[in-house]
Structure 1
Amino acid sequence: MATFIPHECLRAAPWKNGGGSTTEIAIAPLGAGFDDFDWRISLATITASGPFSSFPGIDRSLMLVDGDSVQLTFEGTRKVTLSAAQPMLWFPGEAAVSAQVKGVTTDFNVMTRRDRCRHQLEKITAPGKLARRSAATLLFVAGEGLVLARASDQQFALARHDALLLDADDAQEWRLEALQRTAVFRVDLFI
């Protein structure tokens, strides 16, 4: 059954290092923690430069939601800038990563436990059609404007930063309606 996840009901938790906060959007299994989740999707707000937490055995994807850019340094040498021009990045959770920011940024963060499942993250645009390709799919409205997600007898109105989690019992074909072109992040979870 589809689960509507309104942004206004989510709560941010500060990082231990004081460099930002994380707002969990969805996790499986429900109630899991950092040591036992299969997959986890969140928003991370970075307010200060510093190291990322290490997550051995986890595959991660980041996509910039707000802010100009964040520069990531991998293993002390390779630098990648997450920006509007380069909005998405995949990396192993055990990599030594540090972030440098000049202002506050928010990124969309997908983590999957490598030995249990995998994920695919992409940016799509509403209006448009969505054909499901996995047992679980999460839609996240990253852009401005309202998106109406419709499938047969189901309909959900999503505002900016709202999410919709679809499971195996939900329709395979969805229409994403919007009055203006709106960015939507799609996460397919292969379990």
Structure 2
Amino acid sequence: MKIIRASHCLTTPWKNGGGSTTEIAAEPSGTSLDTFDWRVSMAQVASDGPFSEFPGIDRTLAIVSGRGLVLTIGNDAPVTIEGESEPINFAGDIPTSARLIGGEITDLNVMARRGRFSHRLRRVREALSCDYDDNDTAVVLSLNGNTTVTSQYEVATLGHGDAAILVCAREVSFCITPAVGSDCYLVLLRQHRD
């Protein structure tokens, strides 16, 4: 189990001044925005505007704080996403824009390079025992409180913004136990093999 503390994550302001992004984890390690296989990040969105395009990338977005936003993805009807909404999936190469509902928000973004990895994102609010099924990697992100992650060999306590990366090759299963009132997110990643 690899632990990533929030204090070690790099936050980068956007060139357009409309927000900032904090990278939580990406593979391969040290990869750029053009070469990652998968990436988990949080964004502080302070103004309306278009999303950056990511050709060949599948994305999932969830609202973790703030009122929410209205997403327009390509020619589809606008979709409202709030804190209690299910995460929304969309292709990074389709023009997408966002309009804030009522002030700044923080969202969680998971991106995977199509054809190399696929991913799933879910919110966890109660203790959960997890098997990998056909997935290779799990990322657990703790928000608004503490979360305990227990694997075969280790126990770790995650604070706000901390994450744990677990790899199937080293673990058989793991448990996630968020503290009462905490939010926790689980990302499952599966590598595509030819």
TM-score of the alignment, normalized to the shorter chain, above 0.5: yes
1:25-60 residue CA offsets vs partner (Å, 9 max, x unmatched): 011111111111111110011001111001111000
1:63-105 residue CA offsets vs partner (Å, 9 max, x unmatched): 1111111111122552011103424110000111111113110
- Count of residues in Structure 1 that have an aligned counterpart in Structure 2: 189
- Alignment-derived partner of residue 17 in structure 1: 16
Q: Which amino acid aligns with 1:13?
A: T
Say whether the 8 Å CA contact 1:15–1:22 is kept in structure 2.
Answer: yes
Cα pair distance change 1:178/1:108, threshold 3 Å: closer
Q: Which amino acid aligns with 1:140?
A: L
- Alignment-derived partner of residue 126 in structure 1: 126
Cα pair distance change 1:73/1:148, threshold 3 Å: same
Moved more, 87-96 or 170-179: 170-179
Q: Does 1:72 align with 2:53?
A: no
Aligned equivalents of 2:115, 2:179: Cα separation in 1: 41
Aligned equivalents of 1:77, 1:138: Cα separation in 2: 30
Aligned-partner SS, 1:84: coil
- Alignment-derived partner of residue 151 in structure 2: 151
Q: Which amino acid aligns with 2:170?
A: D
Q: Which amino acid aligns with 2:69?
A: V
- Alignment-derived partner of residue 82 in structure 1: 81
Q: Does 1:99 align with 2:73?
A: no
Aligned equivalents of 1:140, 1:33: Cα separation in 2: 21
Aligned-partner SS, 1:43: strand
Q: Which amino acid aligns with 1:183?
A: D
1:108-155 residue CA offsets vs partner (Å, 9 max, x unmatched): 10010102111111112232322223111100113x322111123301
CA RMSD of aligned residues (A): 1.6
Aligned-partner SS, 2:7: helix
Aligned equivalents of 1:88, 1:99: Cα separation in 2: 15
Aligned equivalents of 1:50, 1:31: Cα separation in 2: 28
Aligned equivalents of 2:14, 2:116: Cα separation in 1: 26
Say whether the 8 Å CA contact 1:126–1:183 is kept in structure 2.
Answer: no
Aligned equivalents of 1:183, 1:58: Cα separation in 2: 26
Structure 2 regions of 5+ residues with no counterpart?
none
Percentage of matched positions with identical amino acids = 33
Q: Does 1:136 align with 2:137?
A: yes
- Alignment-derived partner of residue 162 in structure 1: 162
Say whether the 8 Å CA contact 2:137–2:189 is kept in structure 1.
Answer: yes
Aligned equivalents of 1:172, 1:107: Cα separation in 2: 30
Structure 1 regions of 5+ residues with no counterpart?
none
Deviation at 1:18, TM superposition (A): 1.1
Q: Does 1:175 align with 2:192?
A: no
Say whether the 8 Å CA contact 2:178–2:184 is kept in structure 1.
Answer: no
Deviation at 1:185, TM superposition (A): 0.8
Aligned-partner SS, 1:126: coil
**1:32-51 matched pairs, under 5 angstroms:** 32-51=31-50
Deviation at 1:181, TM superposition (A): 4.8
Deviation at 1:182, TM superposition (A): 3.0
Moved more, 36-45 or 144-153: 144-153
